[in-house]
Structure 1
C-alpha cells in the first residue's frame, strides 16, 4: 500500500514537473510582433495630439463605434444596431454584447456618451456635429441616442472618421477629464492593452493582447471588421536612423517598418526576405502650418506671401525624389478626390518670390527679425520639407531661426502659445493622409475654430460656417461648390499651405501576412507570422 502511494506521488510529481515545463516553454514561446514606427510616442492621449503616431497608439488600445472599410464606407464596430427616426433627426445606437474595458468592467452607453462629449470638444468634425446636436442621452446600459435639431446626414461618417482626432471610446471616469488636459489612465476596449510599466520614451512601447476582446464576426476590411489579435505582444522599437532600421529588418530583428525612405526601395525590393506595400492608396499630402497668433504670421499678408514662396516641385523632390511616386497638387483637398479644386490657389501654380517679398513688406515685417521654424531632424519627411522652406525664405532676405529637435519634441512644442522668445514658434511642417484631407470637415487640418482648433490657432468664422455648410449640403455638386468657396477663403486668410502629394510604403518580413490596406496609418490586428 505504502509503495503504491509512493508510486502515485512520483507520478504526480513527474506530471507537475512536465506541466511546469510546458508552462515555461509556452511563456518562452510567447509570440511577439516587432515594429519600427515612424516616430517616437510621447503623447498618450488621443485627444491630445493629431500626430499619426498618437492615432496609431489609439487604434492599438481603443475601439470606435463605427469604422471605415476598404471602400470608405462606415461599418458598425462597437455598435450592434442603429435605428434612425422617421424624421431623420434621432439616431439610436445599441452596443454589441461582450464589450469590456481593459480593467474588466463592461462597456456601457454612458461611457460612449462621455467619450463623444470629450471628442466633440476637441475635434473639428465633432465641433460641427455639436453645433447641430440637440441632445445626447443614455437610454439604458447598452443604448444611447443622438438627437439633432435638423437632419444631419454625416453622423456615421463622423463617427468612423480616421482624421485626427478619432472618436475613440474610453471609460466614463476617464472621458470626463477636461478635454484640454491629458488623461492619466490609458484604458480602452480594443484588441491590445498598453503596458505603461514597460514604456520607455524614446526607446520602446509595449502592448499586450487583451484576452477578453471579442472581435466582430466579419472579416477585417480597412479599419472595420473583426480585429483579431494574432500576437501575445506587440513591441514598437524606436529606431531613428534609416540604415539601422533597414539592417534590423533585413536581419529579422524587427518584423515591420512603417516609414522607410523611398531611396531605400530598390534595396528592400532586392532583398529576398522582405515585402513592400502601399497601405494608403489615397496618398500623403505635405503641409506647412503658421502660428496665426504670433508675428509675422498674425498678419494674413505674411501668410499669403508664403503661398507665393511655395514651389511644390522642390518639396516633392526633397521628400520623395521619384516623380513616379509624387505629383504637384494646387488643392487643399487631396488631388483625385471629388472635392479637388484649385479655386483661389493660383499662387501655388506659379510661385513668385518677388511677390512674396513684397507681401512681407506690406505686412510691415522687419526682415532682420528672426522667424522661428521648428526642425525635427529625425523625421524623414518633415525635415526635408523644413530645409526647402528655410532656403526659400533666406533667398528673399528673411532671417530664419531654425531650431533643431526631435519629432516628439515638436509634437509637444507646437502646442505652445508663448512668444518665440519664450518657447513659441512661427512655422512648422507636417504631412497627412490623403483621405483625411479629402473634404473640409473630417480633418482638424481645416479647422478655424481659434483656441479650440488646430495648433497655430487659425481663427475665422467664415471658414467654420463653410465647413458646416459642406456638412449640410445636399448632394456632391453642392458639396463641390462649398469646397471651392472654402478654398478661396482659405487662401484669403492664409490658413495653411498644401505642399503636394506622394505615395509612401511600408516594408515588412515576408513571414508576415494579413497586413491591411487601411487607407491611413498601419494597424496590427489581423497580421500573422509564419515560422
Structure 2
C-alpha cells in the first residue's frame, strides 16, 4: 500500500546532519530540557520530553527519514504486505543486541508489540484492527490484521507512545529494567538533577548515511546528560552563559539575545507545529459540545498567538490542522469556527447551553512558557464571556499525570509537531486524554484509517477534520516555529521536533 508523503521534500522538518568525515569521538554533552520526564517508559507516555530522552535508549522497528518517509530501523526492510492489506511480514536485522548483552529475536518483538497494544495509547489505537502477532521464525514477525489499517507502519515508527522493542523477559508493567537496543544506555537517573546515558559499545548501526531519524546512528559522544531546567528564562540565561551544550524550547522573544551570544547559536525549526487546547469530552463542564462551541466562540486565536510568540516571524494564523505545504491540508469545517473573538456572542451561546457558572479548569505549565501566555489570554476572553475560570499552573510532569484523570480538568494546553500521518494525532484515539468517543469520530476516523489508497485518504482526512470542528475534541490555535540553542562547539545537531544526539560530536 503506497503512502503519499505528508509534505514536500523542500519543507522537510528534519535536516540530515552535516557531519564532518573526521568527527571526534569522546566527550560529554549536557542537554537542558524543559523539566523532568514523568517516566522513562516511552510506551506509557505521549509526552514529547519522554520521547526526546528515551529515543537514545530504545528503538522501534521503523522510524522516519528527513522527509518523514517511514524507513526500517530494527527491521531489515519495509514490511511485505499482502494483496488484501491484512498481513505484514517483517524481517528483522541480525546481530542486534540489547544493553544486557542478549540478542534480539522475533520472540522479543512479539512480546513487545503485545505489551504496546496494552500499555500505549497509540498501541491501543491499533489494537482494534489487530488480529495477532506471531514469530514466524527467529528473524521474522508476522502481523495479521482484521482489516486493512493504513497507519500501522507510521504508528510502529513513532517515538511517542512508542512501539519500542524490549527483551521478552523485561516486559514488566510498570517498566523495571530500562534495557533497549539504542546507541546509548541508562547509567543513572537522579530525580530533578539529571538522566545520564552512556555509549552502548554493543550497538550495531545501520549502514549508509544518516538520514533524519533513519540511517546510520553514530556514537561519537561518551555520554549524554539530560538536565531538567523548568524555568524558561533560566534556560535562556544558561544558554547565553554556555552552561549547557543544547537548550530545548527557548522563548522566541529571546532569539536575538541568544543570537548575539558568543557561546551558543539559535536553531529554528520552521514550521514546527501547532499549540492546541484539548477538551475533556468525558466529564465536567466541557463535556457538553455546546459549551465547547461557546468557549471557542469567545477566543481570539490571533491574540493568543501574538502573546505567545510576539512576532509573525514565529507564528501564523491558520485553522487548517495541516498548513498548505502538506498534502493533508484542507479547510473543511474551518470557516465560521476559527479565531472568532466574540465573547459577547459566546456569553449568549453559553447561557443557551445552560452554563451554570462552574469553573472552566484550564491545566497548563510554565515550562512551556507559550502555553502559559496563551492560557492567560484565553482566561481573559472567557471571563468577558461570563465564564468562571480556574487556571491551574503546574509542572509538566504533573500535568501529564493529571490529564489522565477525567475528574481533574476541562481544558489542558499542549502542542504538537506536524506529524507525517494524521492518524498519529493522539486526540483521534478515544483512549487519549480528552476521550473523544462519538459515532461521528468512529465513522470518520475508521474510514480514514482503513483506506489503503493514498489519494482517497486525503479526501477522507477532510471528513475527519470537519468532524473535529463539529465536535471540538480540541482546538488548534495556529502554526508556530520552535527555537532552541546549541553550543558552537557541538556539531551534528540540527533542528528536529524531538532533538537527537547520536550523531553529535564536540569540536576538539
> Does the TM-score normalized on the shorter chain lie above 0.5?
yes
> How many aligned residue pairs are there?
482
Equivalent runs, 1:26-425 vs 2, <5 Å: 31-81=27-77, 82-85=79-82, 88-121=85-118, 123=120, 126-162=123-159, 164-175=160-171, 177=173, 182-195=174-187, 198-278=188-268, 280-345=269-334, 346-367=336-357, 369-418=358-407, 424-425=408-409
Give 1:123 deviation, angstroms.
5.0
**1:321: how far off?**
0.8
Contact 2:63 2:157 in 1 (8 A): yes
Q: Does residue 1:443 correspond to 2:420, yes or no? A: no
Is 1:521–2:503 an aligned residue pair? no
TM-score of the aligned structures, taking structure 1 as reference length: 0.85
The runs of at least 4 aligned residues of structure 1 exceeding 6 Å deviation read: none
1:431 aligned onto 2:415: yes
How far does residue 138 in structure 1 lie from its aligned partner after superposition?
Answer: 0.7
> Conserved in 1, the CA contact under 8 Å of 2:149 and 2:452?
no
Where 1:214 maps in the other structure, the secondary structure is coil
Deviation per CA, 1:158-194: give whole Å up to 9, x if none.
Answer: 32235x32222222233363xxxx3232221111112
The aligned residue for residue 22 of structure 1 is: none
Name the CA shift for 1:149/1:42 in 2 (closer, same or farther; >3 Å): closer
Is the CA contact 1:203–1:238 (under 8 Å) kept in the aligned structure 2? yes
Q: Which runs of 5+ in 1 are unaligned?
A: 1-28, 419-423
TM-superposition CA deviations, 1:361-383 (whole Å, max 9, x none) = 2332212x322222323331221
Matched, 1:482 2:481: no
Deviates most, 239-248 or 261-270: 239-248
Change (3 A) 1:381 1:122: farther
8 Å CA contact retained: 1:386, 1:428: no
Tell me if the contact between 1:304 and 1:491 (Cα under 8 Å) persists in the aligned partners.
no
For 1:371 and 1:84, the matched residues in 2 are separated by 48
CA distance in 2, matches of 1:372, 1:88: 44
Cα distance, 1:256–1:229 mapped onto 2, change above 3 Å: same
Q: Once superposed, what is the RMSD of the aligned Cα atoms?
A: 2.2
Structure 1 residues 303, 208: CA separation in 2 closer, same or farther (over 3 Å shift)? same
SS for the counterpart of 2:313 is coil
2:485 equivalent to 1:496: no
User: 3-state DSSP class of the match of 2:321?
Assistant: coil
Counterparts in 2 of 1:324 and 1:511: CA distance versus 1, 3 Å: same
Range that drifts further, 464-473 or 69-78: 464-473
3-state SS of 2:285 partner: coil
Q: Does the CA contact (< 8 Å) of 1:124 and 1:443 recur in 2?
A: no
CA separation of 1:427/1:88 partners in 2, compared to 1, >3 Å: closer, same or farther?
closer
Q: Distance in 1 between matches of 2:237 and 2:284?
A: 45
Cα distance in 2 between the residues matched to 1:206 and 1:411: 23
2:197 alignment partner, SS class:
strand
Q: Secondary structure of 1:172's match?
A: coil
Residue 462 of structure 1: aligned partner: 440
2:211 aligned counterpart, secondary structure:
coil
Counterpart contact for 1:289–1:456, Cα < 8 Å: yes
- Structure 2 stretches lacking a partner, 5+ long: 1-24
TM-score under structure 2 length normalisation: 0.89
Secondary structure of the structure 1 residue equivalent to 2:477: strand
